[in-house]
Structure 1
């Protein structure tokens, strides 16, 4: 049977998330649903005989920026070109936008061959939460602060993403704002994942915030 490339339904996106968990990527609960709600055409899969064999997320943030993620081929179907097929479909979908991705170290040479260049370093920390330090003005976002959060995020992220943040700031994720003199000076969002919790985005004016 020939390979078919098409958009993924929500249950197929969750299957892709399960594959990511099997690869040890530790995805957050409900994360993919927020991305898909923000960009319903942002998840693409390859199918053979009606079964998904590879998938990718190619989420667009407006007309100028997009992000590649969840790029996985089923282990038993690797080496057959399915991964490259969804990669090409995702890149075509994002077109002339500036495109970002998080590249694991062992895959960075492959991404360079595809035209990507490192622009920042990612450091991962893990440990046990011990509570917030005293003295700071830390509060959850309220509806009247949404416009302020969007404006602050715009200074940290390459493109506006109101549809995404409106979902991402909602429970069960825990969002907190750092305030100083009545204005936002940082914010972060924690969400439960298959092994503990993850934090992101996490932005601040400085390391003391």
Structure 2
């Protein structure tokens, strides 16, 4: 059916240029949510998958796992969400929801989890689907261009701040001021920490 057709950009083989690609996503499953893509960032992991650097890519490969959009369809089992709601989707799109990690709040460790861009159609498309548990509500007034990287690089550096119980009284070192490092610096500054950043690129010094 036309309503289940997704228009995307895909790499048909490793390292190839992205080309327009259409596919039928089939009927929305009860646990899934369909999101109309408003904005999707580009992460180095997208390039790694498109180029099959990790040797686990499945082609055609549709990248994009820093996705912000609005909900266009809800499966019958989806909870706590509504049509038209602005949401985000990050690295993970599916998990089993019945293994020990899933039921204990550690679904990211699920052995059956599915990445948004490996064997799954990512956000370089007009629509994307994911399990409702992996749909992240987003504030309506948040600028998607600046907030979008929080769905990958942002959570990658934010999670350690929580795990190591970083507080405003701490002095924290950030090694490398790249995609992750500069986000760590911004988060730590907002946290109120004293920061020492290390870089081998003198162009990044003040």
Q: Give the TM-score normalised by structure 1.
A: 0.26
Give the helix-richer structure, 1 or 2.
1
